[in-house]
Amino acid sequence: MFARNTFAAQCLYLCDFYFANTIPFLEIASEQDKLSGERKLVELLVNKYSGKARHSDLMNMSHMKKREFRECVESLIEREAITVEAYTSQNNKPTRMYVLNRDILVSWGNENL
């Protein structure tokens, strides 16, 4: 009987330990996942578009859903990582161009731009 109580106590201790340590780990993983979309857009702007990309080009290349793309772009604008320039395309359509912050572009290794 004593062995069963000890075993049960050890099981409860392990459950408490894993429960207490799993939640912070999941929160960290979730936070990293939230930033992955933004990281992806910055990476595309740096490596594929040399710091400037039209809205449609960046959205198509990112392979994100429209809502996810919009949220990531809004977050990057809020953090002043990118700015939005409006211009008129060749067919007289208003178009948006996303421009990566120069400091970020340099820090990602494109110092010659």
Question: Does residue 79 lie in a domain region?
Answer: yes
Question: Does residue 112 lie in a domain region?
Answer: no
Per the structure, how many domains does the chain have?
1
Question: Does residue 87 lie in a domain region?
Answer: yes
Which sign does the torsion angle of CA 36, 41, 45, 51 carry? negative
Question: Does residue 88 lie in a domain region?
Answer: yes
| Domain of 70, in residue numbers | 2-107
**How many other β-carbons are positioned within 10 Å of the β-carbon of residue 113?**
11
99 close to 82: Cβ distance less than 8 angstroms? yes
Question: Does residue 113 lie in a domain region?
Answer: no
CATH of the domain at 16: 1.10.10.10
Single pTM value for the model: 0.67
52 close to 35: Cβ distance less than 8 angstroms? no
What token pair was written down for 109? 């290794």
Question: Does residue 35 lie in a domain region?
Answer: yes
What does each of the 113 residues of the chain score in pLDDT, given as a tens digit? 445 568 777 878 877 877 777 777 666 666 666 688 999 999 999 999 999 999 999 999 999 999 999 999 999 999 999 999 998 888 888 999 999 999 988 888 654 44
What is d(CA 51, CA 105) in angstroms, rounded to the nearest whole number?
7
State the first-to-last Cα distance of the chain, in angstroms, to the nearest integer. Answer: 75
